[in-house]
Chains A and B, each alone.
Chain A
């Protein structure tokens, strides 16, 4: 299991924020299964992220203020014949954290290449 460095995001959290921002651009918000599906599509993977792994990461990102969530009105789910969804949005802090993480990874990759040059 990858160890977390202070202030950094692990791979799954990066994937969640990236896929979440994509879905948010399409529909304004996203829910657990749609997110798992989009992450799998982005990674060209057959298996979806495990329930426990996904919802634990979503809870962690929400606690850090990188995501916010509301429960959908139960009447909407009932009218469509399905359980209500928990709708997530990537917050401004989430977008900043995502960009900062990509930048930090890019710097590490460049330094790594320079060390072997």
Chain B
């Protein structure tokens, strides 16, 4: 089935706005909202001005594609500006970057596990337990959902929690899955049992702690861990010098 020109044109509008939401995702809310609103207006006006021209969708997409380097440069400048005014110790650039790198590594680890197990099952060499296979698939699924959620600004903290669970499943059980697919790793595991178990537990704990910390870091300010205390403090009655509450 082929979509008509109108459907593809609207898809192009949505694609441009999705791109806008993606590159503004870590920016301060008002700056991101202004850019998205400006894009919405522009895309709407271009479509309205083009009337029934079937090429308008391509034109909108082509304008967006040509502007990608400028979008990324603008994003980078805004992030650096935000970082300059951020409170000390909050690392507004480094923390999200580190989280995305950790997410990419976790996904790569999950894919490696699933591919190794899959090829082992297909060629009949798989000798591990089936719950390890399930752990690999569930862990990769959780990691995919978590990484998708971290792309949505409002749901980023929730994505980090999914990734915390995924990292526990993939790191804790994934290592045993890989050991079951490799003679070399099996030899290492049996020759250095206590070290292998220690590495496994430390990595799993580090992954969980990191992603839980990212969830707290990404929690919206009005729902953050310190928001309630701050609200209570600001709601407290003010004491006038004479000792009468305002």
Contact = CB atoms under 8 A, between A and B. Distances in A.
Interface in A83-105: 83-86
B42 A33 contact: yes
Contact of B67 (A53, A77, A84, A85): A53
A53 B66 contact: yes
Interface residues of B, number: 28
Interface string B43-78: 011101100000000010011111111111110000
A52 B46 contact: no
A49 B42 CA distance: 11
Contact of A54 (B34, B41, B48, B67): B67
Given A32-B41, A83-B40, A83-B44, A51 B49 contact: no
Chain A interface mostly:
helix
Interface in A34-85: 34, 36-37, 47-56, 59, 71, 77, 82-85
B68 A33 contact: no
Nearest to A54: B67
Interface residues of A, number: 24
Contact of B41 (A49, A56, A82): A82
Contacts of B16: 51
Interface string B10-46: 0000001000000000000000001101111110111
B20 to A, nearest CB: 8
A31 B41 contact: yes
Contacts of A36: 42
Given A52-B70, A53-B67, A33 B49 contact: yes
B46 to A, nearest CB: 6
23 contacts: A33-B41, A47-B62, A47-B66, A48-B63, A50-B64, A50-B65, A50-B70, A51-B39, A51-B64, A51-B67, A51-B71, A52-B67, A52-B70, A52-B71, A56-B67, A56-B70, A56-B71, A56-B73, A59-B74, A77-B41, A82-B48, A83-B41, A84-B41
Interface of B: 16, 34-35, 37-42, 44-46, 48-49, 59, 62-74
Closest 4 pairs (CB-CB, A-B): A52-B67, A50-B67, A52-B70, A52-B71
